[in-house]
Structure 1
């Protein structure tokens, strides 16, 4: 920390992060000296993605955290509304950005004189339920009819700021029959183990086959990093775990940086060079008779929402041999 402090070329963001470290060690006077004269408005026009997965909001959250640690709540309040507004918006955010924003806001609750939560709510104007908790987070399940619509009225009974969020959970109706592509070409092919095309809409029970996903970098942008392929398979199919079976045929084409094989899905992580193509294979078996839904196959850059592709889902069937 002391060596870093003496580096003349430190960016403003780095100075705020270093000041936070000194504040955590109890040296708040040193921390204040480090950021003296620095603007709390993030003026970095570049999107520092490659090395730190950063963003403007992520940097704002780090600055906000430093100000809170230094008990400068007046300056911190100037950034708080910007951060909360962006968190509540529909704009895409990486996990890195979201996590740092939430961490920074949680620091503020440590300075609150009243850390308890007390509020009341009503659904569609019916009743008024009161909730009180000594914890900083409270969750209430609301009864929802189908189709779901209406209004939730929320009232804060504390002197501090309470943030209310509404989440909806449910089972998809299986209408993701849309092919989408943004700066990434993706194709999905199902074949026999010998490479012959196979129609998965109706498979005989016991059939072994392969799912091959091919990616092509169109070439307009730089090298793609941190790509994540998600393949979820019907419950009537079983994934043949090549690691357990000591089978290498799944890696005849390209070897991913990392692969996570679950009961009903496979996550594949890789990088893609500019203008190049890569293929990834999953071995499958049509195991249980019945009609099942094959969800869409999707791939995206985990820290860049400009790069993604999806192939539509569909219904498939496993019949008696």
Structure 2
């Protein structure tokens, strides 16, 4: 198996801010690298811890892996495992620095104005804790780095990238681009059809809204006409009843007047019979009929009956 080596890369204690100690330089970074790995606790990693007691063998393996064909293989794939590992190590160092800086600031704030001596002692204590944690962390990260280079980023012996695969990949990419072009044209056609259908749907919706508005107006007009018709019928019946009542009242008054007038005539007739007994009985009077009545009397009687 062929892998990467980490020869020439030494990890030291890195301290920033007011903490004592030398500042450790960051490893080279890759712009495209994304540190996402977690701590590895597999059986192979534990076996690697045991092999730490064989420095001669490790040095020999690293020398064999150094300058091997694996670098060319990874470069052909535009990959650099060492830059990725360096990115992860730098991220861990930044997190540790930030954590201890925040811890020191909070401790000094909590200490307040207790004096310069206590502040110095506090910083020394934090630096001591930092060195202990950093030492253990560096050892485990060193083992993790070696594990990644020897097990995770390993190229089998004799592995190569055939040109046939590259040409096949290029032809596949060409076919994919052509298919993408066809799909784009079909998608554009579907967009245009969808736009036309959307416009037609919007037009139909507007027509439907207009029809609904007209229907509502028609129903409102019909209701108004029904109400007006009902009011007209009610008013017409009421007017007719009122007119009939008024006419009946007037007729009753005229009949009363005519009755009084006839009573007066009857009285005059009886008085005339008493004082003129030789009057001609053949003539028809008001009591017995109107055949022999005078024209003026008939016109007056008709006027009394006219409504």
TM class by shorter-chain length? under 0.3
Q: Higher relative contact order by CA 8 Å / sep ≥ 6: 1 or 2?
A: 2
Structure-2-length-normalised TM-score: 0.20
| Larger fraction in strand | 1
| Larger fraction in helix | 2
Structure-1-length-normalised TM-score: 0.19
The structure with more radius of gyration: 2
